[in-house]
Structure 1
Amino acid sequence: MVKKLIGKKLKATRLKNDMTIQELTESSKVSSNMISRIERGLTIPSVEILMKLAEAFGMSINYFVQEAEKGSTVVHTRKGHGEPIFFFEDKHQITSLTQGLRDPNFAVFYDTLERDCTSGEGGMVHNGEEFALVLRGSMEFVIEGERYQVEEGDSITFKASQPHSWRNRHDGQTVVLWVVSPAPEVSH
């Protein structure tokens, strides 16, 4: 989790400063490969590398370390204040209700789907389990070739290793609460 937090902070800081990885490499003397690996959460930088990166932004190393310590053990999300994490052509908007939780084993998303929005062609397959509760509207799920019509107030739970897809068949917006385990990688 520390790797991911430092990586996210580095990438956000670099983009906020309108810098490419190559420009950061030149100003910090840290290789572009290392910067890329840190940003993707694949490695924890040494103190020396973190100091060089912080210096390149005119900051102290604490800027990155404090963020890593801050991963919370409690996330309280007020109505309408979740963290937007995905938008697709105004048809699909996902808001995280668990963003910032330290070492999560699951993630909760509030998903707003426009009419005919789908999960795409073909069935998705990944590790873990999924739970979907339709709060408004209705959806059609296809899991291992079997169709399920999930209406407002209905829920569905399944092993994500089974080929699955979904479509908003409702004549308007459908709002779904998803619980996904393990928590997927979310990149902004």
Structure 2
Amino acid sequence: MVKQLIGKKLKATRLRNDMTIQELAKKSRVSSNMISRIERGLTIPSVEILMKLAEAFGMSISFFVEEAERGTLIVPTIQRKGEPIFFFEDKHQITSLTHGIRDPGFSVFCDTLEEGCSSGQGGMVHTGEEFAYVLKGKMQFVIDGQNYVLEEGDSIVFKASLPHRWDNLHAGQTEILWVVSPAPNVSQ
């Protein structure tokens, strides 16, 4: 059990950081063969190796050996009444539909945007992928300099490493369903 838990956490952390085994080996000074064996649950690493791996991610060694104190394996959400995680001047309200799941690989959010709300003029850039589905209203996305206008029922998926931003074009509220991978670290 311990071997599998450490292996799963190591692999999930490496993938969330968009690293190959070879890149992690170089950064941590742990052989790629050892990292592969740990990720597959074939061996329990020494404390020294765990310290090197944790340091490569800027984490504490305890992350790899402790069970999640919070979190569950199943998170039901009734009628989009998820966990509110972000409010901005009554213009932008985000609710998590996956908050509380243990070691998530992705997150799902419902986003309610008031008329005129936007992400700003600067383009956001981060690792992973994003998927947006317009539940109600009309949105403009600018991704890598190209404009995409989405209406109710339309969706878009893109690499989040491309500069991106959005604007609510609807004369009223727009509701968006977001799927973001890897799961961002959201705290309340």
Q: Do both proteins adopt the same fold according to a TM-score greater than 0.5, normalized to the shorter chain?
A: yes
1:170 is matched with 170
Structure-to-structure mapping, 1:106-185, within 5 angstroms? 106-185=106-185
Whether the aligned pair in 1 keeps the contact of 2:92 and 2:114 (CA below 8 Å) is yes
- Separation in structure 2 between the aligned mates of residue 149 and residue 168 of structure 1, nearest angstrom: 10
Change (3 A) 1:81 1:44: farther
Q: Would the aligned equivalents of 2:80 and 2:110 in 1 still touch at CA under 8 Å?
A: no
Deviation of 1:133 after TM superposition, in Å, equals 0.2
Moved over 4 A (4+): none
Letter in 1 for 2:75: V
**What is the number of residues matched between the two proteins?**
132
CA contact (8 A) 2:113 2:174 kept: yes
* CA–CA distance in structure 1, aligned partners of residues 102 and 70 of structure 2: 8
Deviation at 1:70, TM superposition (A): 4.3
For residues 11-90 of structure 1, the aligned pairs below 5 Å read 42-43=59-60, 68-90=68-90
What is the TM-score with the length of structure 1 in the denominator? 0.65
The residue type equivalent to 1:108 in the other structure is V
1:105 aligns with 2:108: no
Q: Distance in 2 between matches of 1:44 and 1:78?
A: 37
Which amino acid in the other structure matches residue 176 of structure 2? Answer: V
Give the drift of 1:145: 0.5
> What are the superposed Cα offsets for residues 81-133 of structure 1, whole Å, 9 maximum, x if unpaired?
20000000000000000000000010000000001101112100000000000
Q: CA deviation at 1:42?
A: 4.9
Partner residue of 2:94? Answer: 94
Q: Which runs of 5+ in 1 are unaligned?
A: 1-40, 46-64
Residue aligned with 2:177, SS = strand
Give the C-alpha shift of residue 187 in structure 1.
1.5
- Deviation sequence 1:113-164 (CA, Å, 0-9, x none): 0011011121000000000000000100000110000110000000000000
Cα distance in structure 2, aligned partners of 1:70 and 1:90: 29
Normalised to the residue count of structure 2, the TM-score between the two structures is 0.65
Considering only aligned residues, what root-mean-square deviation do their CA atoms show, in Å? 2.5
Correspondence for 2:186: 186
